[in-house]
Amino acid sequence: MAKKDKAEGDAKPGGAKKLIVIGAAAAVLLAGGTGAGVFFLTKGNSASAAEATPTATLTPGTVTALDPISVNLADGHYLKIGVALQGVAAAGGGHGEGSKDTLDGSKAYDLIINEYSNLSMTDLQNSEQRNHYKDELQEKVIEAYKTHDDKGEETEGVMGIYLTSFVMQ
């Protein structure tokens, strides 16, 4: 019986080594397969996203510079601000769209006054805050200049704004 126990004992350590080797090989294959799957799936998504991007890209049109205006700030100071509107080029090459080369600044002036008139001078001294208010104004201006074409599809008239002057006193 002692020989049988010894024989069974020899078989177990060899089997345990085989199990460890098989387990390690399976783990390596699983990790490699997962890595390859992630690589190919991610590569495929970025390629389809790259194909979809050109249809959503806007072509810059003319830049319409608006005259600077003075806005009363909340604390008795004022802000002299100038803005330029970056228009969107007509998709059809401008057929019949000659009047859209320059944008009417009335909507932008109204939004500038509404956005900045109740702010204090300290709100605008920090460059981060100033950029925050500029970004908010830009979103509102882009939304205000959206129109609908003959098919009822929404088209953008402005794709961005530039601050051409910004003086507080």
**Which of 145, 166, 168, 159 shows the shortest CA–CA distance to 83?**
166
For 28-51, write each residue's pLDDT tens digit: 777 777 777 666 667 655 555 555
Is the pTM here over 0.75, yes or no?
no
For 51-66, write each residue's pLDDT tens digit: 544 445 888 889 999 9
Tell me the average pLDDT across 14-37.
Answer: 74
* Amino acid letter for position 40: F
Helix 106-116 × helix 127-144 angle, to 10°: 140
Query: What is the rounded distance in angstroms from the CA atom of residue 28 to the CA atom of residue 48?
Result: 30
User: Contact, 91 vs 153, CB < 8 A?
Assistant: no
In percent, the amount of the chain with pLDDT more than 70 equals 72
**Which of 168, 71, 70, 69 shows the shortest CA–CA distance to 121?**
168
**In this structure, is the dihedral angle defined by the CA atoms of residues 96, 100, 102 and 104, taken in order, positive or negative?**
positive
Query: What is the rounded distance in angstroms from the CA atom of residue 124 to the CA atom of residue 139?
Result: 18
Q: Report which of residues 71 and 101 the model is more confident about.
A: 71
